[in-house]
Amino acid sequence: MATSATSAARPLTRQDYKTLSLAALGGALEFYDFIIFVFFANVIGQLFFPPDMPDWLRLLQTFGIFAAGYVVRPLGGIVMAHFGDLLGRKRMFTLSILMMAVPTLLIGLLPTYATIGLAAPLLLLLMRIFQGAAVGGEVPGAWVFVSEHVPGRYTGFACGVLTAGLTVGILLGSLVATGLNTVYMPEEVAAGAWRYPFLLGGVFGFGAMYLRRWLHETPVFAEMQQRKTLSLEMPLKSVLRSHRGAVVVSMLLTWLLSAGIVVVILMTPALLQKIHHIAPRTTLVANVAATLALAFGCVIAGTLADRLGGKRVILVGSLLLAIATYIFYTTIGSRPDLLLPLYAMTGLFVGVVGAVPCVLVQAFPAQVRFSGLSFSYNLSYAIFGGLTPVVVTLMLKNNVLGPAYYVIAICAIGVLTALFIQRQPATH
């Protein structure tokens, strides 16, 4: 086993790149499975709830089932992180993708309300709960996994690449949904074509699980196992007793991450259509450009975090994101012709979130790293990720710049939080 010093000094090897590629690909496919539901919320609502139910209530209940996936993330993350800290990173990394692939495949096979009545939405809810538990373990587990495989000075790059992979999962979902709605008429989608993206997602998941067979346990965990320095008590108990400051900082930085992704990437296309009456196809093309720019931004931010430190990158990146968001939202009403370049620029600066996992990984010691990161990230995402659309919608009632003001406010919190970033001594 290489010592910490020699491990940190070595360059990235072919095996490191292979590990990063397989982890990022698996993350992209698993995130596709988690978010594809939202692209078919309307048709799922029509098929899985009583036909005489009011449209608004049907849509509300459909999004409620979608949100259930977020609500159970902390529980799934805590359980999987607990065993990840005690039994190994790789086992949980493989289990999470199986827990995502099976329910995604089953959603594509579920009978509808017309066939089995109220059992249909209940089964759909159960599948979303399993998906939420899986993604709660996948994202933090993937960050820990790749960061413990590469030399310490490449932690930011590894986390940035993985976060870019998750971003590509969102993009893949958007492209599959667009392609399906282009090829099939709305009545054909409702008649059964809506099932194809879920069946495809199940295949994606099993493919990713097969690819993960070639991954090895992280050197950091293997060394702790060999030296018998694994946590002797429940890892989460140790986190809450000795690392409360790291938990608070990690939760606030996750708020920055969720605000950037949820508002700028996921909500903005619908907001542009509603506020400025820009054609859906136009907003979708611009959103693809912004999402691609975000993927590059994640890698850039992660790489800079290795060279300059996560504190500086998040401090400056938060300021740049605030400025870009303000310019985008104040300009687009009068200059819709600038939509694509301005949206792509804003997406690039959302890439500051690529430095966040690097800081989160370095905030906790290796013995409780998975549990500390997972608890902070998932609890924050469950609270702030769920509240963000509601708060932004309420702000929009009083001011069309509400979404911009929300992102700017969270960027200010990001700047302040950056001042309190601390890192544990390197373990590899």
pLDDT tens track for 56-84:
787 778 777 877 777 888 888 888 887 87
- CA distance linking residue 13 with residue 18, whole number of Å: 9
DSSP structural state of residue 366:
G
Lowest-confidence range among 3-7, 170-174, 277-281, 313-317?
A: 3-7
Q: Which range scores top for mean pLDDT: 43-47, 139-143, 225-229, 311-315?
A: 311-315
Spatial contact of 131 and 100, defined as CB atoms under 8 Å apart: yes
Give backbone dihedrals phi and psi of 365, rounded to 5 degrees, phi first. -70, 155
Please state, as a whole number, how many other Cβ atoms lie within 10 Å of the Cβ of residue 15.
Answer: 12
Split at pLDDT 50, 70, 90, the class of 8 is: low
**In whole angstroms, how far apart are CA 328 and each of 8, 341, 408?**
41, 10, 12
Q: Which two tokens stand for residue 222?
A: 């293997």
> CB-hemisphere CA count at 13 Å for 149?
28
Question: Percent of the chain at pLDDT above 90?
Answer: 37
In the predicted model, what is the mean pLDDT of residues 358-368?
Answer: 90
Please state, as a whole number, how many other Cβ atoms lie within 10 Å of the Cβ of residue 90.
Answer: 19
Could you read off the pLDDT of 214-254 as tens digits, one per residue? Answer: 777 777 777 777 776 666 667 888 888 888 999 999 999 99
Split at pLDDT 50, 70, 90, the class of 297 is: very high
The contacts of residue 286 (CB under 8 Å, 6+ apart) are: 269, 272, 339, 340, 343, 344
For residue 318, pLDDT over 60 is answered with yes
For residue 268, pLDDT over 60 is answered with yes
Q: Which range scores top for mean pLDDT: 39-43, 143-147, 403-407, 419-423?
A: 403-407
pLDDT of residue 380: 92
Q: One-letter amino acid identity for 309?
A: G
- Average of per-residue pLDDT values in the chain: 86
> CB-hemisphere CA count at 13 Å for 382?
21
DSSP secondary structure, 119-160, as one string: HHHHHHHHHHHHHHHHHHHHHHHHHHHHHHHS-GGGHHHHHH
In the predicted model, what is the mean pLDDT of residues 266-276?
Answer: 82
Spatial contact of 324 and 184, defined as CB atoms under 8 Å apart: no
pLDDT of residue 424: 66
Give backbone dihedrals phi and psi of 289, rounded to 5 degrees, phi first. -60, -45
pLDDT of residue 425: 60
For residue 6, pLDDT over 60 is answered with no
Give backbone dihedrals phi and psi of 113, rounded to 5 degrees, phi first. -60, -35
- CA distance linking residue 280 with residue 274, whole number of Å: 10
Break the chain into its structural domains and give their ranges.
1-213, 233-428
Q: Which two tokens stand for residue 344?
A: 């792509």
Locate tokens 């606030």: which residue?
A: 252
The contacts of residue 205 (CB under 8 Å, 6+ apart) are: 29, 30, 33, 97, 98, 100, 101, 102, 104, 105
Assigned superfamily of 233-428: MFS general substrate transporter like domains (1.20.1250.20)
Which of the pair, 53 or 343, is modelled with greater confidence? 343
Nearest to 358 by CA among 307, 322, 320: 307
- CA distance linking residue 16 with residue 29, whole number of Å: 20
CATH placement of domain 1-213:
1.20.1250.20
What Rg do the C-alpha atoms of the chain give, in angstroms?
Answer: 21
Locate tokens 């709660």: which residue?
A: 136
pLDDT of residue 2: 42
Locate tokens 């976060």: which residue?
A: 163
